[in-house]
Chains A and B, each alone.
Chain A
Amino acid sequence: MSQKTPAITTKNLEIAYGDFVIQRDLNFTVNRGEIFVLMGGSGCGKTTVMRCLTGLKAPEKGQVFLGNISLWEAEQATRDQMAHNIGIVYQSGALWSSMTLAENVGLPLGEFYDLTPQEIRELSSLKLALVGLSGFEDYYPSEISGGMRKRAGVARALALDPQFLFFDEPSAGLDPVTSSLLDDLILELRDSLGTTMVLVTHELPSIFSVADNCVYLDGDTHTMIAGGDPKRLKTDCDDPKVHAFLTRGGKNRTG
């Protein structure tokens, strides 16, 4: 990636539940083909920010630009169109429990493209194979392990060949080996598809192995207090909270 094109930009974004402001004054840019991490302690609002970036929760103030279209100011038709370009891997997997894995992946394909059932089936198998789940097409989500559900979630998110891929805590509930395999998968998918990826996570190994760029969302001041390459932040950032986060509470432990 020689030159950088902004893919996702936020401008003075403020998100709240009623009167309770979760995050405010968010200004960051995710470049095309980049793996970007939203990090911060539990409950600081990472999921909420992600919901706002993907069109699920309206912000109180500010804008979200996907490419050069302002997501929350666009018309419903444009927004529906943009939805096809966004793939989301939910924290819990969010697979449709009444459908098999192949049906989960195949449903959006059948809805938006004029494909034969045979083609849909082949494509679903292909996407499942991409995440290492070939042979599990006819399993229901309740019949597979958590890690497999995560990967099936990735396969479904990839169904419509999205330009943007969002992951909410991909490694939550996974053992370190599985979660590092998932990190590898994320890197491989980025390298082969060139997809822009946004990860919500607080897993340090993940952050250091995949992230090109990141922001730290603070739950106390309700805004972002640091951003940049996480490896550089670890050594250069002098904010005690960020430093403690990146070093697992390390030397500069406060309080």
Chain B
Amino acid sequence: MKPHRHANNKTESGSQPCEISFDRSDEKKLLINLAGSWTLKCKRPSADVVKKEITAGGATGIAFNTTGITEWDSGLLIFLGRVIGLFLKNGITVDKTGLPNGAGKLMDLAAAVPEKKGARKKSQKESFLFRVGSESVAFVRSSGDVLTFVGEASTAFIKFLTGKARFRRSDLTRIIQDCGIEALPIVSLISLLVGLILAFVGAVQLTMFGAEIYVANLVGIAMVRVMAAVMTGIIMAGRTGAAFAAQLGTMQVNEEIDAFKTMGISPMEFLVLPRILGLTLMMPLLCLYADLMGILGGFIVGVGMLDLNMVEYYNQTKAAVPLSNLWIGLFQSIVFGILIAVAGCLRGMQCGRSASAVGDATTSAVVTGIISIIVATAVITVITNVLGI
């Protein structure tokens, strides 16, 4: 029988540490005595100890005596791997007979390398009516799921605040880049055009009263207070929200999410949290950028078409837009960031196990994202009105 390898079952957590000693009674062969607990949990000696011993003694071979080992796992294998790797290069013979039965076999198995091939595929379909029916039923059921998801996401966020959330920082950086810098071109284009359109529409009316200069007010306030936030929100819902749903949905299909769960790694922390954080951090920056681009659009119309003076237009905009509007706009964009990311991740995590389910999840994420943006805008507008801001 092998030693009790899997003694990592709590009771033995205080077991004795691993010990190493050397027996040089045989000139040629260094006998390495290993004893105690050789697991990943314990602090293991480095292979250099053995190297020093062998350079000092001048032995040409090593052997092991492991009768004193009480438990072992990959911790022993990593040590053996290093020792064996160290000496095979120098032509020193390694005698594996003294190793625990399984460990010796594993080291041999690791050294034998074969090489082969294989392949596979899958897909599925359902009737339209069946889909409509099941979607409706699912919609009613899903409200509960939404609450659970939001609860879990909040828990993960609290863990993040206390520094206990587990995720790869590199994932967060990649997501920030993905939904920040890489969204700039489309945000620029859309907000510039929205600014132009607002200015055009306004100019037609305002010239009738000879009040062209108020185009600056119209564009400035509209962009800064709502339009920039709403437009970036809608762009990001279509761009990033959809991407989140597709990414997580695909991981669901490939059982990757299951694999996280069974390894005790929370997909909520590992996958959802960095996405929500990344988008929520980037949204206000994009919104600020969209503010500027929108005002630039108005400026182009004002100066180019209405023959307004540049400085005058600039001063008019500055005077017309109170700082509080900027804060309201930025606040909205943060709210939208959270809503879009939550909608995207929620739909992705709810995704079924077929390829077409990923498509449904993506569509659903965009729809949910845009609807929640519009509803949130309405709510925020009413609240600010009531508060008189």
Residues of A within 8 A of B82 (CB): 122
Of the stretches B258-266, B293-301, B314-322, B356-364, the one at the interface is B258-266
Query: Given known contacts A113-B40, A146-B120, is B110 in contact with A126 (CB within 8 Å)?
Result: yes
Of the stretches A22-30, A175-183, A222-230, A234-242, the one at the interface is A175-183
A178 to B117 CA separation, bound complex (whole angstroms)? 7
| B117 in complex: contacting residue of A97, A109, A146, CB < 8 Å | A146
A173 to B118 CA separation, bound complex (whole angstroms)? 6
Quick check: B110 and A145 within 8 Å, CB to CB?
Answer: no
Q: Give residues of chain B (95-117) contacting chain A, Cβ–Cβ below 8 Å.
A: 101-103, 105-106, 109-117
Is residue A83 within 8 Å, beta carbon to beta carbon, of the partner chain?
A: yes
Shortest Cβ gap from B66 to chain A (Å):
15
Quick check: A132 and B259 within 8 Å, CB to CB?
Answer: no
Shortest Cβ gap from B166 to chain A (Å):
6
Quick check: B77 and A126 within 8 Å, CB to CB?
Answer: yes
A94 to B259 CA separation, bound complex (whole angstroms)? 7
- Counting chain A residues whose Cβ lies within 8 A of the other chain, the interface size class is 35 or more
Quick check: A94 and B258 within 8 Å, CB to CB?
Answer: yes
Is residue B2 within 8 Å, beta carbon to beta carbon, of the partner chain?
A: yes
Of the stretches A8-16, A34-42, A191-199, A205-213, the one at the interface is A191-199
Quick check: B112 and A132 within 8 Å, CB to CB?
Answer: yes
Query: Given known contacts A92-B254, A96-B256, is B110 in contact with A134 (CB within 8 Å)?
Result: yes
Quick check: B113 and A92 within 8 Å, CB to CB?
Answer: no
Residues of B within 8 A of A93 (CB): 254
Quick check: B105 and A191 within 8 Å, CB to CB?
Answer: yes
Is residue A80 within 8 Å, beta carbon to beta carbon, of the partner chain?
A: yes
Name the CB-closest residue of A to B111: A129
Shortest Cβ gap from B255 to chain A (Å):
4
Quick check: A193 and B40 within 8 Å, CB to CB?
Answer: no
Residues of A within 8 A of B263 (CB): 83-84, 107-108, 111, 160
Is residue B41 within 8 Å, beta carbon to beta carbon, of the partner chain?
A: yes
Residues of B within 8 A of A55 (CB): 262
Residues of B within 8 A of A145 (CB): 116-119
Query: Given known contacts A119-B78, A123-B78, is B113 in contact with A134 (CB within 8 Å)?
Result: yes
Query: Given known contacts A83-B264, A84-B264, is B259 in contact with A90 (CB within 8 Å)?
Result: yes
Query: Given known contacts A130-B106, A134-B110, A160-B263, is B258 in contact with A147 (CB within 8 Å)?
Result: no
Residues of A within 8 A of B118 (CB): 145-148, 150, 173-175, 178
B interface residues, how many (CB within 8 angstroms): 44
Quick check: A85 and B255 within 8 Å, CB to CB?
Answer: no
Q: Give residues of chain B (55-114) contacting chain A, Cβ–Cβ below 8 Å.
A: 73-74, 77-78, 81-82, 101-103, 105-106, 109-114
Quick check: A115 and B119 within 8 Å, CB to CB?
Answer: no
Residues of B within 8 A of A160 (CB): 263
Residues of A within 8 A of B239 (CB): none
A55 to B262 CA separation, bound complex (whole angstroms)? 7
Residues of B within 8 A of A109 (CB): 40
Query: Given known contacts A90-B258, A91-B255, A181-B116, is B81 in contact with A122 (CB within 8 Å)?
Result: yes
Query: Given known contacts A56-B262, A192-B105, is B6 in contact with A85 (CB within 8 Å)?
Result: yes
Is residue A172 within 8 Å, beta carbon to beta carbon, of the partner chain?
A: yes
Q: Give residues of chain B (217-266) contacting chain A, Cβ–Cβ below 8 Å.
A: 250-251, 254-256, 258-265
Quick check: A192 and B101 within 8 Å, CB to CB?
Answer: yes
Is residue A52 within 8 Å, beta carbon to beta carbon, of the partner chain?
A: no
A147 to B264 CA separation, bound complex (whole angstroms)? 26
> What are some 19 contacts across the A-B interface (CB < 8 A)?
A84-B264, A88-B258, A94-B255, A94-B259, A96-B251, A97-B251, A111-B263, A113-B41, A122-B81, A122-B82, A126-B81, A132-B113, A146-B118, A147-B118, A161-B8, A161-B40, A178-B118, A188-B109, A193-B106
- Residues of chain A whose beta carbon lies under 8 Å from any beta carbon of chain B: 54-56, 80-81, 83-86, 88, 90-97, 107-109, 111-113, 115, 119, 122-123, 126-127, 129-130, 132-135, 145-148, 150, 156, 160-161, 163, 172-175, 177-178, 181, 188-189, 191-194
- Residues of chain B whose beta carbon lies under 8 Å from any beta carbon of chain A: 2, 5-6, 8, 10, 40-41, 73-74, 77-78, 81-82, 101-103, 105-106, 109-120, 166, 250-251, 254-256, 258-265
Known contacts A95-B259, A194-B102; 20 additional CB pairs below 8 A are A80-B264, A85-B6, A90-B255, A94-B258, A96-B251, A107-B263, A107-B265, A115-B40, A122-B82, A130-B109, A130-B110, A145-B119, A146-B120, A147-B118, A161-B73, A172-B120, A178-B118, A191-B102, A192-B101, A192-B102
